[in-house]
Structures are given as C-alpha cells and as structure tokens.
C-alpha cells in the first residue's frame, strides 16, 4: 500500500520532494504518513480536500481484500 500512496502522491505533486512512511500500529491497522513542503501539501490536499479524499478512497478500496485498515495522514 505504501507504493500505491507514493505513486498517487507523485502523480499529484510531480517531482517535488516528499516522503512516505509506513507505521504498523497493530496487525490490523497501519498508518501511512506523507511528509512534504507546504506547497506540495496544498497540492496533495487539493481544493476543499477533494484530492486527499480521493487518495484515501482508493487506499480503502485497495486494502479491502487484505482485511487491514490503513490511515493516511499528511505532515504529522
């Protein structure tokens, strides 16, 4: 799932520098954190949060088979 988030964020941001970190909270829950500069964060979040909402929806759909929940956080 980390690669999926990295691909989606790179598609939105372009070649700007960002970092995707995967943290295991427990066997059924993982937290994916995206760290980037302020300009890139604005692109990732999008107007009224539409872009980040779409990325979260794709992540939720992709993880449905595994039975594992993923939480996506930006710059925490």
Structural domain count of the chain: 1
HSE-CB of 35 using CA atoms within 13 angstroms: 6
Q: What is the CATH number of the domain that holds 11?
A: 3.30.300.20
Q: What pLDDT digit, counting tens, does each position of 7-66 carry? A: 999 999 987 789 999 998 888 999 999 999 988 999 999 999 999 999 999 999 999 988
Length of the chain: 76
Domain that holds residue 60: 2-74
Residue 11 to residue 14: CA distance in whole angstroms: 6
pTM assigned to the model:
0.88
């Amino acid at each position: 799932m980390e690669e999926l988030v990295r691909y989606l964020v790179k598609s939105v941001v372009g070649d700007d520098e960002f970092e995707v970190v995967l943290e295991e909270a427990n066997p059924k829950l993982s937290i994916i954190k995206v760290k980037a500069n302020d300009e890139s964060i604005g692109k990732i979040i999008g107007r009224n949060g539409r872009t980040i909402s779409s990325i979260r929806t794709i992540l939720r759909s992709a993880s449905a088979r595994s039975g594992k929940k993923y939480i996506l956080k930006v710059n925490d």
